[in-house]
Amino acid sequence: MATIKHISVAVINPKLVAENLAALTGGTSRPFSPLDGAYVCMWDNSWDGRYIEFYPSDCTISYKENGPGFSKVGEGVIYINATHVNLSAEKSLDEIIKIADQLKLKHRPRNEKNTYDIWLEEQFLVEISLEPG
């Protein structure tokens, strides 16, 4: 069995998305050094732990001899993608809704039981799976 330790996502506003996700899930948001403007939302406060990297949507990643290389693709160019993530949260539905409302995020219940959709920005969805009870 494989376990995802981290994932990278391209978004329009990495700082805001990382901060909003941290507020919703009890994580920590901080700048991420490989690329100016990148941010990370961490849950274990360790680079060996669980986190999501958020990169500006106007950059690309490519192979370089000494590690991944990042490049800006040009001013005003924004890639559209359908990336989204499903996370579990140790918060109640009422807490999730309150935080989403405070952050002025679009949100709604999902058809599946115990799943709630929150849009961290116009093009990035996080599905929050709530523990039954």
CATH of the domain at 67: 3.10.180.10
Q: Is 5 left (phi over 0), alpha (psi -120 to 50) or beta?
A: alpha
- Mean pLDDT along residues 55-70: 84
Q: Is residue 16 part of a domain?
A: yes
User: In the structure encoding, which two tokens stand for residue 112, read together?
Assistant: 């599946």
| Greatest C-alpha distance within the chain | 50
- pLDDT of 16 higher than 90: yes
Q: Say yes or no to pLDDT of 4 above 60.
A: yes
| 29 occurs within a structural domain | yes
Q: Decide if 1 is inside a domain.
A: no
Q: Is residue 67 part of a domain?
A: yes
Question: What is d(CA 81, CA 37) in angstroms, rounded to the nearest whole number?
Answer: 19
Place of tokens 């523990």: 131
Distances (CA, A) of 19 to 3, 56, 65, 72, 97: 24, 14, 32, 23, 16
Task: List the domain range (segments joined by +) for residue 49.
Answer: 6-130
Query: Is 70 part of a structural domain of the chain?
Result: yes
Residue 31 confidence (pLDDT):
96
> 84-89 and 115-121: which strand pairing?
unpaired
Count how many domains the chain has. Answer: 1
Model confidence at 133: pLDDT above 60: no
pLDDT at 79: 65
| 63 contact partners, CB below 8 Å, separation of at least 6 | 69
The residue that leads in pLDDT, 91 or 106, is 106
Is 49 a residue whose pLDDT tops 80? yes
